[in-house]
């Protein structure tokens, strides 16, 4: 009988019941004529209480290794916690968008809760079959969320591209499962990796292991598989983009660590695999930095800076082989940077808008720093942390990786990180010039209530404080 961890059962049942209740409240509200934004705070409150209760339960639950299929270790715990944190941020974005677009829907919150449930299962699973089921359902949810973005010109295009990627996932997963059963008789990562040591099953096991790696790297957004991520994040609005970000980056980092840890047991393919992963890491940490120097729109530049994070994490995981057991601080700080800097950038993009401009160009942002200096400064801090500029949390994480790389005399990896910082800093510096040095051409609309502006300042404060005093920050947490 399958031994399912108690945290998965509790979280799944709670989130599913909350999602069903969101749909029932939506139906009841439509029957009563409650269609306006202000008439649905009860649904937002229900989602808020559900996510808060799950996060508290996960943090207070003891860690344990259950079996070869599920594991509730420290990595899974922090991954689930930060997924809940970004889910709460999605609620803020939903309220922000609904005030101007009048698109408050109970179905949207139900999909958000189901997406969080799938993320929790991915963070705990060590089986390609469960990974396939969760990723397939998660992809369908992302496509459905784009359906609520019918006011966006690129929303349907982003959903169509993600549908194409979903088909690629299904084909690759079917092949991975078929070869996995052929070589090991199971779909568990550890048993497939052990089958590589068996001469009679080595070829089939290597093929299965290769397909699994392609799936994990594609789901996480590693180059050259990150183009679907870029198109979706740029085409959808803030709410589905944020759901997509935490649903891909956070569980993807957890699964990637598990895969690297298991790969260390297969000495026969370790060297070739490591060389290929370093090649993917180099592409993922350099290509988005070059592409971020986008001459058209700031939103596109922001997406490429988002896509730096999977490459950074792959570099960290390769440079610190015992990252899970001996360096959990780095994993915690990486997730902190993702969960704080990305919302900070999105909040800034929502604040600096021009009512008559649907797609903001670089020139449209000229002079914004002169009119709103404090808000723009906080926005630039979030950008700087994603790019790894000194003085931010993103730079501290890269500095930690540089220390480990240079101690092991892996100068190529260290040079890649240094070069990535220089390349990524270029678009941020150029943006700062447009924001503060040039005269203003437009009057920006203040769509943020006070609490959203305070949240942007809070994101910037966490970035600066955690980079200056990381140990004090961790002790405070």
Residue 341 above 60 pLDDT? yes
Taking the C-alpha atoms of residue 156 and residue 236, their distance in angstroms, rounded to an integer, is 8
Taking the C-alpha atoms of residue 310 and residue 23, their distance in angstroms, rounded to an integer, is 34
DSSP for 74-114, please give it.
HHHHHHHHHHHHHHHHHHHHHHHHHHHH----HHHHHHHHH
Q: What is the pLDDT of residue 268?
A: 47
Spell out the domain ranges in the chain: 272-477
* DSSP 8-class letter at 69: S
* In contact, 388 and 420? CB cutoff 8 Å: yes
pLDDT in tens, 45-61: 888 899 999 989 988 88
Q: What is the pLDDT of residue 1?
A: 45
pLDDT in tens, 407-440: 777 777 778 888 888 888 888 888 888 888 777 6
pLDDT in tens, 279-299: 898 888 888 888 887 767 788
Give me the half-sphere count of Cα atoms (radius 13 Å) on the Cβ side of residue 312.
Answer: 35
| DSSP reduced 3-state for 388 | coil
Q: What is the pLDDT of residue 381?
A: 92
Residues 6+ apart with CB under 8 A from 285: 308, 311, 312, 314, 315, 416, 417, 420
- 72, containing H or E segment: strand 71-72
By 3-state DSSP, what share of the chain in percent is helix, strand and coil, each rounded to 5? 80, 5, 20
Angle, helix 308-319 to helix 411-436, in steps of 10 degrees: 150
Mean pLDDT of 320-341: 76
Taking the C-alpha atoms of residue 276 and residue 415, their distance in angstroms, rounded to an integer, is 18
pLDDT in tens, 207-263: 888 888 888 888 898 888 888 888 888 877 788 888 888 889 999 999 988 888 887
Q: Is the pTM of this model over 0.95?
A: no
């Amino acid at each position: 009988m399958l031994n399912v961890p108690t945290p998965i059962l509790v979280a799944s049942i709670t989130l599913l019941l909350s999602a069903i209740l969101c749909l029932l409240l939506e139906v009841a509200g439509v029957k009563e004529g409650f269609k306006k934004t202000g008439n649905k705070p009860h649904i937002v409150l229900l989602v808020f209480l559900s996510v808060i209760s799950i996060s508290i339960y996960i943090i207070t639950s003891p860690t344990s290794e259950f079996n070869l299929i599920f594991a509730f270790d420290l990595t899974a715990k922090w991954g689930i916690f930060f997924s809940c944190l970004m889910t709460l941020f999605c609620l803020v974005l939903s309220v922000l968008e609904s005030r101007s677009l009048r698109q408050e829907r109970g179905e949207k919150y139900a999909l958000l809760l189901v997406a969080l449930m799938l993320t929790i299962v991915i963070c705990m699973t060590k089986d390609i079959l469960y990974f396939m089921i969760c990723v397939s359902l998660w992809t369908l949810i992302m496509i459905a969320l784009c359906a609520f973005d019918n006011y966006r010109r690129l929303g349907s295009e982003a959903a169509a591209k993600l549908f194409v990627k979903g088909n690629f996932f299904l084909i690759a997963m079917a092949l991975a499962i078929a070869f996995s059963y052929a070589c090991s008789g199971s779909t568990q990562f550890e048993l497939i990796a052990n089958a590589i040591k068996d001469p009679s099953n080595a070829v089939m096991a290597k093929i299965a292991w290769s397909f699994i790696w392609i799936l994990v790297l594609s789901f996480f957004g590693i180059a050259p598989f990150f183009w679907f991520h870029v198109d979706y994040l740029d085409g959808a609005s803030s709410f589905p983009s944020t759901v997509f970000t935490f649903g891909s980056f956070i569980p993807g980092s957890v699964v990637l660590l598990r895969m690297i840890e298991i790969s260390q047991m297969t000495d026969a393919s370790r060297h070739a695999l490591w060389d290929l992963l370093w090649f993917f890491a180099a592409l993922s940490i350099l290509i988005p930095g070059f592409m971020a120097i986008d001459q058209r729109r700031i939103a596109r530049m922001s997406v490429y800076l988002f896509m730096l994070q999977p490459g950074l994490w792959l570099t960290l995981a390769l440079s610190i082989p015992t990252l899970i057991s001996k360096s959990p601080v780095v994993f915690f700080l990486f997730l902190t940077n993702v969960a704080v800097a990305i919302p900070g950038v999105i909040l800034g993009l929502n604040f600096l808008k021009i009512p008559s401009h649907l797609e903001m160009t670089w020139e449209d942002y000229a002079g914004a720093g002169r009119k709103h200096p404090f808000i723009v400064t906080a926005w630039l801090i979030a950008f700087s942390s994603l790019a790894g500029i000194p003085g931010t949390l993103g730079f501290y994480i890269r500095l930690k990786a540089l220390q480990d790389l240079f101690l092991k005399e892996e100068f190529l990896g260290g040079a890649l990180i240094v070069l990535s910082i220089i390349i990524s800093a270029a678009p941020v510096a150029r943006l700062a010039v447009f924001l503060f040095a040039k005269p203003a051409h437009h009057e920006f609309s203040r769509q943020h209530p006070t609490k959203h502006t305070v949240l942007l300042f809070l994101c910037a404060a966490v970035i600066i404080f955690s980079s200056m005093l990381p140990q004090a920050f961790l002790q405070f947490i």
